[in-house]
Amino acid sequence: MKTRWTVLFAAMLALSLMTVPDPAAGQVPDYYKDKIVTIIVAGSPAGGHTRYARMIAPYIKKHAGMRDVRIANTAGGGGLIAANHLWRTKPDGFNILFGNVPTLILAPIAGSAGVQFDATQFTYLGRATSEPRLLLVGGKSAIRTIQDVQKLNRPFVYPSQGTDEDFYAMAILSDALGFKMKAVTGYEGNADTSLAVIKGDGDGHITGLSEAEPSMKSGDKRPILTIASQRIPGYPNVPMALEFAPSQKQAPVRAIANIMETHRSYVGPPKTDPRATAAFRAAVAAALKDPGLLEEATKTGRPVSFMDGARQQQVVEEITKASAGLAPILKAAIQEIK
């Protein structure tokens, strides 16, 4: 009798193991089934983060079987307020940050006073997109090339929403390409800094391609440089920052280009429940491969570029270690705006 029950139990156990969802196979564990999840967006309701988060949310809900996905905007500090909030959040996976990973990496390296977290300790759940970053000037500006910036007899006026990744990228460019920068802070988000550039209240700002294209096509702004590892398809005449950096400054420019490619991602608190981590990573993977989302992304001009959360966790650790040499440049930039 014992033998028969042992065999039966073993068979039932084997069957149950066969039906456990396998994230690697495209199945999403049911950790979030009928649950409500809040996506904390590090930006304003009108910003690019929010538009991406709202576009993707229904597909994450669909594939994870969630009851609802709610968007909560936490703007300020260039994303630091949202990151600090996440750092203190209960790690059960029901509050997830959607924002720029470069800010999480760069702010601690810079020694920003607002940082209360260690970027390598967050739980990375998947990158949604990685689009090229551009330095743009106003369409009516006398500045037409990066060489014009280098020849200015005054600092380049840079409107900034705070010490975010774009501010740090601009600091690296200023140091590497040999021009002075005057950061003007206090802007609410990308829409505000964009308007300042168009109106001529600032010389230029850095933003992503999808955010920049409408104003580029209308002639309101002009791209003069990309912060990327290669020229942008469709804009082959816009040079890379690496093309102008002298040999001794190549390393920091290459580092900032690599950091910027971590871009818009889903991030959980430190030590997020492993079940939540596996389920959310699988849901992001499934959502970003969903034909419906891919069609919507194409129609709205918001490209997606998926990176698995587990791989992203490794990338962030590797980049953070490799970028320690940026600290003097970034700290000096912080001092300039105090």
Residue that wins the pLDDT comparison between 318 and 23: 318
The pLDDT value given to residue 191: 86
- The rounded distance, in Å, linking the Cα atoms of 204 and 211 is 14
Higher pLDDT, 323 or 188: 323
Residue 25 has pLDDT above 70, yes or no: no
CATH class entry, domain 133-259: alpha beta
Domain boundaries, the chain: 25-130+262-323, 133-259
Would you identify the CATH topology of the domain 25-130+262-323?
D-Maltodextrin-Binding Protein; domain 2 (3.40.190)
Percentage with pLDDT > 90 across the chain = 71
- Separation CA 26–CA 290 (nearest Å): 11
Q: Is the pLDDT score of 15 beyond 50?
A: no
pLDDT at 312 (0 to 100):
94
Using the 8-state DSSP alphabet, how is residue 305 labeled?
-
Residue 166 has pLDDT above 60, yes or no: yes
Decide: residue 67, CB within 10 A, 0-12 exposed, 13-18 middle, 19+ buried.
Answer: exposed
Chain-centroid distance of CA 59 in Å reads 19
- For residue 24, pLDDT beyond 70: no
Residues pairing with 266 in the sheet: 98, 126
How far apart, in whole angstroms, are the C-alpha atoms of residue 264 and residue 282? Answer: 17
Is residue 46 within 8 Å of residue 191, measured between CB atoms? yes
Confidence tier at 175 by pLDDT (50, 70, 90): very high
Quote the mean pLDDT of the chain: 89
Domains 25-130+262-323 and 133-259 share a fold: yes
Amino acid of residue 231: R
Cβ–Cβ under 8 Å, residues 172 and 89: no
Q: Is the pLDDT of residue 196 over 50?
A: yes
Residue 18 pLDDT exceeds 80: no
pLDDT digits (tens, 9 = 90+) for 224-253: 999 988 899 889 999 999 999 999 999 999
pTM: 0.78
* pLDDT tens profile 127-149: 999 888 999 999 999 999 999 99
Q: At what angle do helices 101-110 and 250-260 cross, to 10 degrees?
A: 140
pLDDT above 60 for 10: no
- pLDDT tens-digit profile of 80-95? 999 999 999 999 999 9
Q: Count Cβ atoms within 10 A of the Cβ of residue 274 and give its class: 0-12 exposed, 13-18 middle, 19 or more buried.
A: exposed
